[in-house]
């Protein structure tokens, strides 16, 4: 009891909130942009820190399980980019919609899927968020549409979701994410055109992690100003005090707040660029050091790590103590270990479930199995 009283007295000494300066965004076809100040409350800071730390540890555990050959197939990790999914999620409502590419684990967690359910999906178990049938690239939950394996294909799908929001008269928006590697595709420009014509409530977001699959943006694109690529669609590129906006959760949050309010006001689509950085290679089969140096990766880690940046801000502005954040770290590590234990012991789905969930809300029908003599029954 005395220990609890001491802790409560210590916590009472913390500031409730702090205000931070944010550099003015680069703007395209906009007269004004996001706020140049961001207020961070102690409660928000602790939530952001725990969420980003959980995603980081989850991805590092995924790396370990993959190298142990417990996770198989394609696997694209999100460590280094945590500020993007967290900053975006806290700027929208649970009823809003998100669709992204196949580097989706962070968004899946930010949208509310537990770590154990994500890791179980990665290991192909019944307790996974797609019952072990989706794997790394195909994770879904309410108002989150993946996790899409075809590069850039989620962009027209995102516009379709935004069209549904408008059609049904809901005051909802769709965040449609893609990487710099997909940004040169024709389907994306076709989608821009339709979204602008129909004034769809769609925020197009380019997560520019600088290398696509393994080619630098300078070698891949004649113009690397991705926020201007919509031409007739307004765009913004946030620049944080650290020069790498996608590594600063507050810069992402403020830019996302502005963009979502713009869409919700019925002004049509808007484009955001988040400059970020992945610590792992493009996928687990990519060592990530043939097209960039170890020194470059280490420099980003030491100067622009999103978790470290938030941690320093909170400690320097009396929003939290080092000891308190260490307690969060310990709790997160324990949660990840327990989730990994579940993901490696939960049973795999039975073979007959291969035919399940082909259609939603349809009567059962027969599905041919691995050969023509084996029949499965599809259940909605």
Residue segments in the chain with a per-residue pLDDT below the cut of 70:
1-11, 239-244
b/e map 334-363, b = 16+ CB within 10 Å? ebbeebbebbeebeebeeebbbbeeeeeee
d(CA 255, CA 277): 18
Cα–Cα nearest to 352, from 367, 363, 339, 342: 367
d(CA 101, CA 366): 32
d(CA 244, CA 18): 21
| Cβ count within 10 A of residue 191 | 26
| Cβ count within 10 A of residue 113 | 20
d(CA 18, CA 316): 10
Q: What is the DSSP letter of 350?
A: P
CA distances from 308 to 59, 130, 242, 278 (A): 17, 33, 12, 15
Q: 314 — phi, psi (to 5°)?
A: -65, -45
26-28/235-237 β-pairing = antiparallel
Checking phi first, is residue 11 left (phi over 0); if not, alpha (psi -120 to 50) or beta? alpha
Cα–Cα nearest to 172, from 96, 254, 275, 81: 96
Residue indicated by tokens 């989150």:
144
Class of domain 17-349: alpha beta
d(CA 52, CA 37): 22
According to the model, what pLDDT value does residue 10 have?
A: 64
The sign one gets for the Cα dihedral 284, 289, 295, 299 is: negative
Q: Hey, what are 137's tokens?
A: 């690239």
Residues with Cβ within 8 Å of residue 33, at least 6 apart in sequence: 24, 25, 27, 236, 258
97-99/174-179 β-pairing = parallel
Domain boundaries, the chain: 17-349, 352-379
User: E strands, 238-324, where?
Assistant: 270-275
d(CA 271, CA 375): 47
According to the model, what pLDDT value does residue 240 have?
A: 52
* Residues facing 206 on adjacent strands: 178, 273
d(CA 294, CA 213): 17
The sign one gets for the Cα dihedral 164, 200, 24, 222 is: positive
According to the model, what pLDDT value does residue 360 have?
A: 87
Q: Hey, what are 332's tokens?
A: 């997160």
Q: Hey, what are 214's tokens?
A: 């393994």
Cα–Cα nearest to 279, from 322, 254, 308, 253: 308
Q: In 3-state terms, what secondary structure has residue 251?
A: helix
| pLDDT 10s digits, 46-83 | 999 999 999 999 999 999 999 999 999 999 999 999 99
According to the model, what pLDDT value does residue 4 have?
A: 46
């Amino acid at each position: 009891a005395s220990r609890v009283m001491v802790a409560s007295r210590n916590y009472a000494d913390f500031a409730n909130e702090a205000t931070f300066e944010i550099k003015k965004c680069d703007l395209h076809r906009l007269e004004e942009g996001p706020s140049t100040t961001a207020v961070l409350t102690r409660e928000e800071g602790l939530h952001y820190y725990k969420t980003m730390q959980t995603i980081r540890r989850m991805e590092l555990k995924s790396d370990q399980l993959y190298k142990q050959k417990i996770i198989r197939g394609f696997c694209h990790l999100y460590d280094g980019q945590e500020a993007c999914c967290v900053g975006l999620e806290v700027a929208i409502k649970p009823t809003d919609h998100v669709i992204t590419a196949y580097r989706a684990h962070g968004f899946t967690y930010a949208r509310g899927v537990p770590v154990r359910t994500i890791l179980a999906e990665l290991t192909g178990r019944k307790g996974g968020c797609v019952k072990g049938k989706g794997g790394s690239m195909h994770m879904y939950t309410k108002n989150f549409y993946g996790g899409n394996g075809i590069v850039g294909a989620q962009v027209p799908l995102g516009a379709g979701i935004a069209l549904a929001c408008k059609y049904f008269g809901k005051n909802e928006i769709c965040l449609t994410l893609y990487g710099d590697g997909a940004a040169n595709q024709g389907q994306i420009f076709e989608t821009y055109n339709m979204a602008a014509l129909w004034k769809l409530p769609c925020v197009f977001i380019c997560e520019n992690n600088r290398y696509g699959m393994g080619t630098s943006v300078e070698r891949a694109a004649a113009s690397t100003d991705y926020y201007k690529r919509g031409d007739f669609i307004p765009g913004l590129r946030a620049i944080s005090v650290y020069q790498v906006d996608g590594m600063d959760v507050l810069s992402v949050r403020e830019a996302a707040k502005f963009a979502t309010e713009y869409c919700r006001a019925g002004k049509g689509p808007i484009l955001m660029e988040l400059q970020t950085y992945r610590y792992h290679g493009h996928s687990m089969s990519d060592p990530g050091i043939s097209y960039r140096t170890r020194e470059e990766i280490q420099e980003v880690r030491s100067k622009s790590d999103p978790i470290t940046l938030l941690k320093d801000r909170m400690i320097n502005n009396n929003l939290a103590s080092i000891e308190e954040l260490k307690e969060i770290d310990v709790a997160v590590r324990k949660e990840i270990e327990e989730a990994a234990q579940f993901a490696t012991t939960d049973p795999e789905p039975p073979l007959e479930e291969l035919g399940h969930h082909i259609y939603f809300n349809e009567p059962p029908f027969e599905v041919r199995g691995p050969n023509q003599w084996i029949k499965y029954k599809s259940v909605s």
